[in-house]
A = this chain, B = another copy of it.
């Protein structure tokens, strides 16, 4: 079983209710990688027997650190129309004192889609083809403990982390990279979801400082079908992120993810907290 499938595995425990377990392979600093939490929340909808259509949009709010070990997810379809379905998803964990807490919430829209006129206003940047390579060592000790990084192959084309964490302010917060699962796995909605959170906080690039920072809310819109994702297979995705504003503890970013063939698979926005 692929390490990603282990990490997002869910067991039904009651109507609309599932049990899961955190994965050491996707551990971040004080909890799981945000992308794997988003993927397991989405997976509760994907495996739900009442699901209509495929994922169109998801917003995940990170409310508290998910404790190591077991958690439960409640995924409820609150409104079902002819071609869309609206979901509320709640993940419960336990805090340090052993009390049950809401660790994350999500809303999801699933939809049955039909062929229509289609176009893009944001073509993929023209870049060199990816060449598989041994991962360069991370550029700061803090990244050594982030297990999740090892689950992805990331080939940075623009906007890598600074060589020198010198605190000198930069002007460019754009990053562009090829990314795929380190251990090959055919793309699907859950793994695309996880990769939509692959970007370092833009403030690391802008300030060349390792200030405490993390995602508070993450929104992804899906623009491809399950079949189109399956056709991407285990190939690299082209992922781009750009900050817009940083002010008083919070910053945002927008991002796009394309297939190598230039199909826009997902568009992303998120708001992050930061300190100092």
Contacts and interface: CB of A to CB of B under 8 A. Distances in A.
Interface in A221-272: 221, 223-225, 242-250, 252, 254, 256, 264, 267, 269, 271
A162 to B, nearest CB: 16
Which secondary structure dominates chain A's binding surface? Answer: strand
User: Which of A84, A101, A244, A247 counts the most chain B CB atoms within 10 A?
Assistant: A247
Contact of A120 (B221, B244, B256): B244
Contacts of A246: 116-121
User: Which of A56, A59, A242 counts the most chain B CB atoms within 10 A?
Assistant: A59
A219 B219 contact: yes
A257 to B, nearest CB: 11
State the 9 A-B residue pairs at the shortest beta-carbon distance, nearest first.
A63-B79, A59-B59, A79-B102, A118-B247, A63-B86, A113-B248, A269-B269, A122-B244, A221-B271
Nearest to A101: B79
User: Which of A78, A103, A242 counts the most chain B CB atoms within 10 A?
Assistant: A78
